[in-house]
Amino acid sequence: MRRNYISPEFESSEVFGTFNMVEESNFFGAKMLEVEDSIYVDNQNIIYYQLPTGEQLDLSVENTLQSQVYSADLDKKSKHKLTLDPSQTEYQKENGTIWILEIDLRGILSSYIYAQMKTWRTFEGIKSSMTYYNDVNTAMRKYIEFNVVDRYKASRIDLYIQYRDLRSQTLLKFSNTWKYDSALDRNKMTKFQSETSVDGSYTKLTFNQLQPGSTYAFDYYFNIFYEKI
């Protein structure tokens, strides 16, 4: 056979399938992660075991190490912001105080799913070197970002407000506390306005304080109910 001495422009090399974190369906189906129909994030603690690198290769070894704990309570606390409505008058502020609660819906959901995947050892046997990011934790978070979070929407937020009398502690005015103990049915807030971003990644709740802001502060908490689309 005659040679043409034309060198190939491309070279093919084998790589691990885990280098691609984007699931692509085909005629015969795909290995898409099976997910729950609904998720309710309240104050769960999810415990899992892993190597210091984040890899999960041998449970019998990892059980001898310090367990990892995901706290939904702490995660929600870090992924929301409660502020006074800057447009309200001084009279409104002292009486029917208007508050704005901004919540990172996607961040909370992503962290919750990540912890569940860790506890169910979804990526068991996958080493960091087998991923595009050379870090199995980053690969897992990218997998969730690319394939899972968009399959859910936040359909309900349960907001709880428990008032505290400040008439003997006026220095604590407008000082509110994130507290799970306030999450009781009798403290459930039903009158608030919600505004959710187009992509569903965050929401903003606006509500009026039912007790005068000049003499009452409150403890508050919220839980989120997600549904599969």
Tell me which H or E stretch contains 72. Answer: helix 72-78
Query: Strand order of the sheet with strand 203-208?
Result: 80-84, 98-103, 203-208, 193-196
Q: What is the dihedral of CA 166, 208, 107, 180, to 10 degrees?
A: 40
Q: Which residue has the tokens 């979804």?
A: 122
pTM, whole model, 2 decimals? 0.88
Instruction: Specify if 103 maps to a domain.
Output: yes
Q: Please give the tally of structural domains in the chain.
A: 1
Reading the block at residue 55, the tokens are 């890899």
- Which phi-psi region, left, alpha or beta, contains residue 190 (left: φ > 0; alpha: ψ -120 to 50)? alpha
The per-residue pLDDT for range 1-19, each reduced to its tens digit, is 555 555 566 665 555 667 6
Largest CA-CA distance found in the chain, in angstroms, rounded: 99
Mean pLDDT of 154-162: 98
Domain enclosing residue 57, as ranges: 35-228
Instruction: Specify if 10 maps to a domain.
Output: no
Mean pLDDT of 26-34: 57
Mean pLDDT of 115-138: 96
By the 10 Å C-beta count (0-12 exposed, 13-18 middle, 19+ buried), 197 is classed as exposed
Instruction: Specify if 59 maps to a domain.
Output: yes
| pLDDT at 30 exceeding the cut of 90 | no
Mean pLDDT of 178-193: 97
Reading the block at residue 108, the tokens are 């909370």
Mean pLDDT of 115-127: 96
**Phi, then psi, of 152 in degrees rounded to 5:** -125, 155
Instruction: Specify if 15 maps to a domain.
Output: no
* Cα 42 from Cα 182, distance rounded (Å): 12
Mean pLDDT of 190-201: 96
The per-residue pLDDT for range 71-104, each reduced to its tens digit, is 999 999 999 999 999 999 999 999 999 999 999 9
Mean pLDDT of 32-49: 92
| pLDDT at 26 exceeding the cut of 60 | no
Q: Which residue has the tokens 């769960």?
A: 44
Reading the block at residue 149, the tokens are 């979070």
* Per-residue pLDDT at 31: 54
Instruction: Specify if 23 maps to a domain.
Output: no
Mean pLDDT of 21-32: 59
* Per-residue pLDDT at 19: 64
Instruction: Specify if 69 maps to a domain.
Output: yes
Nearest to 203 by CA among 111, 101, 73: 101
Instruction: Specify if 17 maps to a domain.
Output: no
Instruction: Specify if 159 maps to a domain.
Output: yes
